Amino acid sequence: MEDFSVNVDADLAVLDGTDDGETITGGAVADQINGYGGNDDIRGFNGNDVIDAGAGADIVRGGTGDDFVSGGVGNDTIYGQGGNDELNGNNGQDTIYGGFGDDKVFGGEGGDLLKGGAGNDIMRGGAGADNVSGGAGNDTINGNLGDDALYGGRGDDTVSGGTGDDSIWGALGNDVLYGDAGDDVVLGNSGDDMIYGGDGDDKLHGGADDDTINGGNGSDVVTGGAGNDVIDTSGNVATEVVVADIALGTVSGTPDMAYEGVFTADTDPSDDMDKVWGGNGADTIITGDDADQVWGGKGDDTIDGGFDNDSLYGNFGQDMIIGGEGSDYIDGGSGDDVIYGGQGPDEVQILDIADVGETPDLAPDNDDDDIYGGGGNDTIYGGDDSDTIHGGVGDDFIQGGIDDDALFGDAGNDIFDFADGDGSDVIGDFTIGEDKVQILGGSFDDLMLSQDESAAIIEYGDLMIRMENMNADDLSASDFLFGDILEPIAVG
């Protein structure tokens, strides 16, 4: 390599290299440097320089000043150093360091390594599998084409994966992270982050603090992490839900995914299923049209299953769970939960069992649900069609709704709630002196009691209740509640 150095005293200097490869050093003012061919070592020094490295594997240092650098063809190494620089790798596998200042860093063709450094940088990977790190400052990063690794660094960053299967880390700060197209892994880490999976089968993790996560299209795995998170896998980014700040509990249940370190998950992309893990905090989780699996995790969670056949687990905490349309499996877990088999409204609030005044205005379900209240004093509404409901441990309020339901209070002092026209229902474990049958309207004298082998039969209008392993002669008015009552009341 030849050495080519010029000290310039004029206001502008044009420095041209050759195709042999030179060391070209600018002066104290603005330089225009053309490297042409060869492997050049170009140093802009002071001033706002315009540098075109040309072909070859070049090393370019912008120096101080607001520089414009084009790497040209070849695998170049570019340092912006001081100033607000625009650095372009162009063709080749380039390594670009923005340095200090608010820089624009563009990789161009090839798999590039881009580091923004200090300042509020704008960075774009271009074609190829790029590795992009924003560094300190509020950066805007776009991976563009290829399977990129994008790291926001310190500051409130906006990171977009573009097309390809990207890995995105928000790091520190309140970040906005977009997976865009492809099967992406997006990690918010610390800060109140907004995460959008976009198209593809994504793995999304909020990390610490209060995050908003939208899975978008595809079969996604979503974990909220610590904090009070809002998780929406319905594909509607405009859904607005207010999350209360409620104390944490202890997680229970074993989700069908490994939760280790950040997280790993094993999903089958052939099934249109979202798997959502709420993690710590009081989370709001809204799923979409597919058959989803949801674990609320720690805290008092609100879960809306949406459409299709969902499996919903409240785990610990006082949870509200809405099955939505479809044949759902619902397990409230421990805590005083409120569970609806039917479809819920767009805006919901957590209800305490002592404060429930009347049946909320929820549209009924159209399919069969399997509902398990778990531990705690649960309030369970089955909705339409034939439901199977288990109250679990605790003093539960159970309403099967319209059609033929199978109801089990399990342990505790339970209330089974009915109305004329609810269909032919079965109570599998009524205990005299502990449980009650609550009927809207009428009185004990309006009931018709009969025996069918080992079951007591109760008829009221178009309602029929079959109590398994019960003698009708053992029933009395004290086992029933009547009147215009639809809300849970204390038993005993």
pLDDT digits (tens, 9 = 90+) for 147-156: 999 999 999 9
Give, in order, the Cα–Cα distances in Å from 347 to each of 196, 284, 303, 339, 381: 21, 10, 11, 15, 18
Is the torsion defined by CA of 155, 259, 211, 148 positive or negative?
Answer: positive
Q: Quick check: 96 and 107 in contact, CB under 8 A?
A: yes
Is pLDDT at 484 greater than 60 in this prediction?
yes
What number of CA atoms fall less than 13 Å from residue 251's CA on the CB side? 16
- Residue 284: inside a domain, yes or no? yes
pLDDT digits (tens, 9 = 90+) for 209-230: 889 998 888 888 888 888 888 8
- Convert 68-107 to b/e letters by CB count within 10 Å (16 or more is b): bbbbbbbbbbbbbbebbbbbbbbbbbbbbbbbbbbbbbbb
Which tokens is 226 given?
């610590």
Which tokens is 169 given?
């880390």
| Phi then psi dihedrals of residue 194, to 5 deg | -115, 120
| Phi then psi dihedrals of residue 472, to 5 deg | -60, -30
Confidence band for 43, pLDDT divided at 50, 70 and 90:
very high
Confidence band for 487, pLDDT divided at 50, 70 and 90:
low
- Residue 136: inside a domain, yes or no? yes
- Residue 200: inside a domain, yes or no? yes
What percent of the chain has a predicted confidence (pLDDT) above 70? 82
d(CA 423, CA 280): 41
- Residue 310: inside a domain, yes or no? yes
- Residue 28: inside a domain, yes or no? no
SS3 of residue 294 by DSSP: strand
d(CA 85, CA 308): 52
- Residue 490: inside a domain, yes or no? no
Q: Quick check: 137 and 156 in contact, CB under 8 A?
A: no
Full-model pTM:
0.68
- The residues near 419 (Cβ < 8 Å, ≥ 6 apart) are 439, 440, 441, 463, 486
Residue 52 structural domain: 46-483
Is pLDDT at 357 greater than 60 in this prediction?
no
* Total number of domains constituting the chain: 1
d(CA 352, CA 350): 7
- Residue 37: inside a domain, yes or no? no
- Residue 247: inside a domain, yes or no? yes
